[in-house]
Amino acid sequence: MTACFMQMILCYQKMLDIIAAYAKKWRFELNPKKSEVVVFGTRSPPRNLKMKLGQHTLKTVKQYKYLGIELTRTLRWHVYIRRILEKARRNMTHVWAMGIRGGFASVKTAEMLWKALVRSVLEYGCEIWGEGAFSDLEKIQIEMGRKILRCNSTLINEVVLGELGWETMKARIDEMRLRYWAKIVRMQEHRIPKIVYRQSKTRLEMEDPPPTWCKKKYTRDLLYRIGLGEYWETEEVPPEDEWAKIVREKIHTREEEEWRQEMKDHSKLH
């Protein structure tokens, strides 16, 4: 282990010791089974790493579920996304059986069930992992849209979205990402998310930036693509409600333009 890494381990161990001392002082027990260690990074974690919580040695693992999201050692989201896809499909089956299959539920009711039981699952935590095309998420939305409209699988995706007035899952993920970005920007400088964001943004200037939340300049480029690049430079974002409205309008305009173009590209829809 490097000297820097060893120093970090000692720092973390001191924090665990403080927690253990606090628990002993106020006479409550800590559950070591609910505490594990993940060493983040692309390299293999060091062997024989021992972190103790009181009298218990914590287990070193490759991933840990925190606030409902699996955080892997390499900070990739495939484990979590695979799980929510399976859960969303199960929920979609339940929704299908709740009156849609027999035509007893109206389109409005079916949409409400979709948003509450399926889409909410697919969107959870997307502010941090939502970077990419995520074709599997789009497929689930289109599949659900076809069920609601009671049409066959040959109906073109753009028609399904147009009939229901839906945007792509990508649009919703981008919108929530930018709303979360503004929330970070508004934080005071001593907040940990703000400190991490500052470091992440600084690293963008490097020739080969390491993986961070700002990886590949996605957030910055997204703001510029929809005409909000000035906010990336100044970070003078308006209040939450006003910012949400601005982002909503810009994302909607982008989606509408792309949808119209897709419609033009399908000759059978002319």
The region of weakest confidence among 8-12, 140-144, 182-186 is 8-12
The region of weakest confidence among 35-49, 140-154, 173-187, 197-211 is 197-211
Tell me the per-residue pLDDT of 115-155, one tens digit each, with 9 for 90 and over.
999 999 999 999 888 777 688 999 999 999 998 988 888 88
CB-neighbour burial class of residue 212 (10 A; exposed 0-12, middle 13-18, buried 19+): middle
Look over the chain and give the mean of its residue pLDDT values, rounded to a whole number.
88
Q: Where are the domains of the chain?
A: 14-61, 78-166, 174-259
Tell me the per-residue pLDDT of 213-241, one tens digit each, with 9 for 90 and over.
665 578 888 999 999 999 999 999 999 99
- Whether 175 shows a pLDDT value over 90: the answer reads yes
- Whether 1 shows a pLDDT value over 60: the answer reads no
d(CA 50, CA 63): 17
Mapped onto helix, strand or coil, the DSSP state of residue 132 is coil
Residue 31: both structure tokens together: 């559950």
d(CA 122, CA 130): 10
Name the more confident of 270 and 41: 41
From residue 201, alpha-carbon distances to 151, 181, 185, 232 in Å are 46, 12, 11, 10
Angle between helices 218-225 and 169-186 (to 10 degrees): 110
Given this model, what pLDDT does residue 209 score? 61
Beta bridge partners of 70: 65
Beta bridge partners of 59: 36
pTM listed for this prediction: 0.83
Tell me the per-residue pLDDT of 84-121, one tens digit each, with 9 for 90 and over.
999 999 999 988 888 777 777 788 888 999 999 999 99
- Report, as an integer, the average pLDDT of 73-92: 91
Tell me the per-residue pLDDT of 15-67, one tens digit each, with 9 for 90 and over.
999 999 999 999 988 888 888 988 887 677 777 788 899 888 998 888 999 89
- Report, as an integer, the average pLDDT of 163-173: 93
d(CA 37, CA 190): 25
d(CA 241, CA 72): 33
Given this model, what pLDDT does residue 199 score? 86
Confidence of residue 269 (pLDDT cuts 50, 70, 90): low
Tell me the per-residue pLDDT of 234-246, one tens digit each, with 9 for 90 and over.
999 999 999 999 9
Confidence of residue 187 (pLDDT cuts 50, 70, 90): very high
Mapped onto helix, strand or coil, the DSSP state of residue 257 is helix
d(CA 82, CA 93): 17
Residue 140: both structure tokens together: 């689930």
